[in-house]
Amino acid sequence: MDEQRLGSVRVVVFGPLVESLGSRTHKVPLMENMSIEDIIEYLGASDWIAKGLTVALNNEVCPLDVHPTNGDEIALLPPVSGG
């Protein structure tokens, strides 16, 4: 793999994603041109995108095609359900 590592990002997950991914926080290595969607795929949570996953970068809701930088914090917020 020739991709250059650009540091890492901290990913915080909520709700059922905690159980699904095994932990509330994750440190993900950041590679060149890596988008938030790529990070979600790296974590194995891409099926949540179709379920209405919302993401926030440094406490600001953003689209999945945003490219984070070293030290950023990404929050993965699954849709709220209930009755």
- Could you read off the pLDDT of 17-56 as tens digits, one per residue? 999 999 999 999 999 999 999 999 999 999 999 999 999 9
Query: Across the chain, what does the average pLDDT equal?
Result: 92
**Domain boundaries, given as residue ranges, for the chain:** 5-77
For the chain, give the longest Cα–Cα distance.
49
Q: Could you give the residue ranges of the DSSP H alpha helices within the chain?
A: 16-21, 36-43, 47-50
Q: Specify the CATH class of 5-77 in words.
A: alpha beta
